[in-house]
């Protein structure tokens, strides 16, 4: 099973039973981020680590969550991200400003047909653009272009076009909570979902920082980003070789707790 993904000159990530480590090529040599969820007693934590062959490895814990709170917090955070990522769409205005727009319903699609028509083809396109070495999946920048070219070629093929044409619909036919569709606007495609009598789409400029803001509030998210940057700077110092070299008097990691009002997280 693949447990290591490497996007050349951009990002890497590795997953084990107890850890998820990741980094990018903008970090100092040997520095990476870690979510530890198996070997830290009552807590799951996020920390910055220096990998230099010395033990115990230097690390600075940024934030912690009690394991007993994790399931509920994950549910609350997922909902918060979902709400923050969606924006309302005025369908009448959309069609007025973009003549020729049409919609493809995802309601009642035959799952087997969907899999054989799209999913299998996309997997095939993706597989052709990647290489696997043992448990490591490697993706080079030029491979991503190959994938996009292959995917676009498939979407323009007769098979895909026939599939789309069979499912073109008027959105007035989709009135149930959770109904979903794609809007085709010229060469652009937008995702649409019907919730509480209104149509929404995903914000395309939604960043990882926006996601963190939604989960725990902007002020706390800013603090975590600031502490993480400071930890990277400290660990990058040549004088920090083992954990014993770290001297952080008065420093205490943030503890994210279940919120009383169920809408934001608070810090202990």
Quick: pLDDT tens for 30-89. Answer: 999 999 987 657 899 999 999 988 888 999 999 999 999 989 999 999 999 999 999 999
Question: CB 137: neighbour CB atoms within 10 A?
Answer: 16
* Centroid of chain to Cα 207: 9
What is the C-alpha separation between 176 and 173, in angstroms, rounded?
A: 9
Q: What is the pLDDT along the chain (268 residues), one digit of tens a residue?
A: 777 887 777 788 888 888 889 998 889 999 999 999 876 578 999 999 999 888 889 999 999 999 999 899 999 999 999 999 999 999 989 888 988 888 888 776 666 666 666 666 667 766 666 777 777 777 776 666 666 676 677 667 776 777 778 888 888 878 888 888 888 888 788 899 999 889 999 998 999 999 999 999 999 999 999 999 999 999 999 999 999 999 998 888 999 987 654 444 434 3
What is this structure's pTM?
0.78
Paired tokens of 20 = 């998820």
Nearest to 228 by CA among 241, 215, 212: 212
The DSSP output letter for 119 is I
Select from 7, 32, 30, 29 the least CA-distant residue to 19.
Answer: 32
Q: Which two tokens stand for residue 179?
A: 């109904």
């Amino acid at each position: 099973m693949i447990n290591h993904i490497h996007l050349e000159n951009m990002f890497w990530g590795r997953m084990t039973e107890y850890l998820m480590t990741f980094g990018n090529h903008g970090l100092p040599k040997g520095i990476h981020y870690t979510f530890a969820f198996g070997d830290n007693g009552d807590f799951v934590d996020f920390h910055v680590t220096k990998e230099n062959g010395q033990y115990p490895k230097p690390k600075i814990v940024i934030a912690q969550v009690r394991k007993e709170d994790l399931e509920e917090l994950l549910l609350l955070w997922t909902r918060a991200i979902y709400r923050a990522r969606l924006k309302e769409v005025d369908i009448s205005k959309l069609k007025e400003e973009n003549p020729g727009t049409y919609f493809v319903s995802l309601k009642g699609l035959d799952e087997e047909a969907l899999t054989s028509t799209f999913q299998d083809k996309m997997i095939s396109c993706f597989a052709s653009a990647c290489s696997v070495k043992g448990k490591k999946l490697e993706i080079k920048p030029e491979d991503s272009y190959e994938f996009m070219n292959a995917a676009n070629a498939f979407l323009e093929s007769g098979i895909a076009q026939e599939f789309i044409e069979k499912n073109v619909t008027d959105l007035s036919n989709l009135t149930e909570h959770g109904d979903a569709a794609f809007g085709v606007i010229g060469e652009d495609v937008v995702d649409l979902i019907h919730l509480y009598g209104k149509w929404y789409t995903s914000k395309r400029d939604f960043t990882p920082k926006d996601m963190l803001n939604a989960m725990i509030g902007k002020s706390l998210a800013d603090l975590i980003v600031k502490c993480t940057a400071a930890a990277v700077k400290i660990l990058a110092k040549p004088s920090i070789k083992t954990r014993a070299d770290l001297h952080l008097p008065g420093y205490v990691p943030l503890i994210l707790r279940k919120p009383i009002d169920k809408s934001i997280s608070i810090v202990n």
